[in-house]
Amino acid sequence: MLNAAPDAHVRSYYAASVPPASPGPALAGDVECDVCVIGGGLTGLTAALELAERGFSVVLLESMRIGWGASGRSGGQLIFGYACEMPKMAALTSPEDARRLWQFSLEALAGVRARVARHAIDCDWADGQLHVAIKPRQRDELEAWGEHLAGTYGYTGLQFLDRAALESHISSPRYCAGLFDPRGAHVHPLKYTLGLAAAARAAGVRIFEGSRALRLTRGAAPRVHCAQGEVRARYVVLAGNAYLGPLVPALDRKIMPVGTYIVASAPLGADLARACLPTNAAVTDINFVLDYFRLSADFRMLFGGRVSYSKIPPPNLAGSMRKRMVRVFPQLADFPIDYAWGGYVDITMNRAPHFGRLDPTLYFAQGFSGHGMAATGLAGTVIAEALAGDAQRLDVFERIPHRDFPGGRLLRMPSLVMAMAYYRLRDLL
């Protein structure tokens, strides 16, 4: 589930629903540029595109295929805020910085919408996103959450839905309330990522696939070393996230790769699909280990959930995920699963995003914690702004404190598994 040949995407509904394409060229020989971006996902591509549009010469290195990682496999939901909720963000920084960060997250949503329109990216865009509650305690939490966002941050467009009102958005016995955001949306993530890559190439970005960064020479004139050549640059942007690996140990210690999983049902047909989700909104519950789902453009149910901290995919993934789907939508009991896949997201200790500079020539963004569909584009934009001379927004992100995961590479995962047991138990109460 988590691995594939360097010249192929992981088998998923997303990969199967885009035209097949041969890999781009691998780096061969030495090249020079203003900025070398490592990572061909949404963060790296957005940074590369915006830097090229500002007049920088840009080389982008991707170890596998463009969109091979989480950017091309995710749930595709565009959601306000961050994985770390705003009261925690205010406690980590300050109320003033939290308000700035909140506004940045809204600009992130608008930024995706603007890039789709500007570059005519066909990515199955659909408006509407819904958080749902399973039990009365969560119903109260949702209502309080909406009131807090309206009162503290002026976000008044959210609609709180009781059980009766929720039925106009979702036909499921599992949920008792919802919080609907008309500014949210969902997309085909691989189509969007490939569309960004096409826009970046058109802007002059040189993209090399199958070109893993094996070693980084830091300093005033950084160099990125690959198997068949190297890139000499004025600046380097690290955008590998969960797949960056130990290239820069100081960053690796601050994130944990966590496996997440999605299935795609057989096509439901338009009538049944619209009966399940009448407004075609993307949906996520508010459990810590959550379920999230939406319809595809060809009326499949795309259903995500489960996590793995062991780097081993769960046994019988399709079967176990189908049970979760049918628990939400009993009317889908007769529909098989056509695709099941997984991938890693990178979480931080505090679930807040981790953007910044390691030295004057080395920039990075990571730690989206499963909330990256919009925030990755924000990261790319913020880094491009900083390299162009305006680091005000990057400075705000750098004020978010981040700790190393305890236990080093060998023990941090068992430590996290023990911590997550508490949250799994809380989901059941």
Per-residue pLDDT of 236-265, as tens digits, reads: 999 999 999 899 999 999 999 999 999 999
What local confidence, expressed as pLDDT, does residue 6 receive?
54
Point out the domain boundary residue: 331, 347, 363. Answer: 347
Is the same domain home to 312 and 212? no
Whether the Cβ atoms of residue 380 and residue 50 lie closer than 8 Å to each other: yes
Whether the Cβ atoms of residue 73 and residue 190 lie closer than 8 Å to each other: yes
Residue 3 inside a domain? The answer is no
Residue 390 φ/ψ, nearest 5 degrees: -120, 95
- The two beta strands, 229-238 and 362-366, are parallel
Q: Please report, for residues 37, 104, 117, 365, the alpha-carbon distance to residue 88 in angstroms, rounded to integers and kept in the order given.
A: 31, 16, 34, 20
Enter the tokens of residue 298: 């060809």
Is the same domain home to 169 and 238? no
**422 vs 147, residue with greater confidence:** 147
What local confidence, expressed as pLDDT, does residue 214 receive?
98
Enter the tokens of residue 3: 């691995």
Is the same domain home to 212 and 299? no
Q: What is the mean pLDDT of the chain?
A: 93
Using DSSP's 3-state secondary structure scheme, residue 77 falls into strand
Q: Looking at the predicted structure, is the pLDDT value of residue 414 above 70?
A: no
What local confidence, expressed as pLDDT, does residue 423 receive?
47
Q: How confident is the model at residue 170 (pLDDT cuts 50, 70, 90)?
A: very high
Residue 425 inside a domain? The answer is no
Is the same domain home to 395 and 362? yes
Is the same domain home to 234 and 141? no
pLDDT above 90 as % of the chain: 89
Q: Looking at the predicted structure, is the pLDDT value of residue 221 above 90?
A: yes
Enter the tokens of residue 61: 């290195």
- The two beta strands, 215-217 and 77-78, are unpaired
**287 vs 416, residue with greater confidence:** 287
Residue 110 inside a domain? The answer is no
Is the same domain home to 281 and 334? yes
Q: Looking at the predicted structure, is the pLDDT value of residue 67 above 80?
A: yes
Q: How confident is the model at residue 288 (pLDDT cuts 50, 70, 90)?
A: confident
Question: Is residue 21 exposed (0-12), middle (13-18) or buried (19+ Cβ within 10 Å)?
Answer: exposed
Cα–Cα distance for residue pair 191/182, rounded to 1 Å: 22
pLDDT one-digit tens code per residue, 340-364: 999 999 999 999 999 999 999 999 9
| CATH code for the domain in which residue 316 is found | 3.30.9.10
Is the same domain home to 38 and 141? no
Is the same domain home to 229 and 264? no
| CATH code for the domain in which residue 242 is found | 3.50.50.60
pLDDT above 70 as % of the chain: 93
Cα–Cα distance for residue pair 128/284, rounded to 1 Å: 12
Q: How confident is the model at residue 409 (pLDDT cuts 50, 70, 90)?
A: low
Residue 24 inside a domain? The answer is yes
> Domain limits at 300?
126-183+257-347
Q: Looking at the predicted structure, is the pLDDT value of residue 332 above 90?
A: yes
Is the same domain home to 329 and 383? no
CA neighbor of 14 nearest in space, from 327, 341, 253: 341
Output the CA torsion sign for 321, 326, 332, 334.
positive
Residue 60 inside a domain? The answer is yes
Range 186-203 average pLDDT: 98
Residue 140 inside a domain? The answer is yes
What local confidence, expressed as pLDDT, does residue 310 receive?
73
Q: Looking at the predicted structure, is the pLDDT value of residue 194 above 60?
A: yes
Residue 5 inside a domain? The answer is no
Cα–Cα distance for residue pair 131/45, rounded to 1 Å: 29
Point out the domain boundary residue: 347, 379, 394. Answer: 347
What local confidence, expressed as pLDDT, does residue 7 receive?
67
Is the same domain home to 267 and 406? no
Residue 199 inside a domain? The answer is yes
Q: Looking at the predicted structure, is the pLDDT value of residue 200 above 50?
A: yes
Point out the domain boundary residue: 300, 331, 347. Answer: 347
What local confidence, expressed as pLDDT, does residue 5 receive?
55
**CB contact burial 290-306 (16+ within 10 A = b; e otherwise):** bbbbbbbeebbbbbbbb
- In this structure, the dihedral spanned by the alpha carbons of residues 61, 67, 69 and 74, taken in order and rounded to 10 degrees, is 150
Q: How confident is the model at residue 8 (pLDDT cuts 50, 70, 90)?
A: confident
Q: Looking at the predicted structure, is the pLDDT value of residue 309 above 90?
A: no
Enter the tokens of residue 265: 């049902």
Is the same domain home to 153 and 261? yes
Q: How confident is the model at residue 418 (pLDDT cuts 50, 70, 90)?
A: very low
Q: Looking at the predicted structure, is the pLDDT value of residue 114 above 90?
A: yes
Is the same domain home to 366 and 335? no
What local confidence, expressed as pLDDT, does residue 275 receive?
98
Whether the Cβ atoms of residue 383 and residue 46 lie closer than 8 Å to each other: no
Number of domains composing the chain: 2
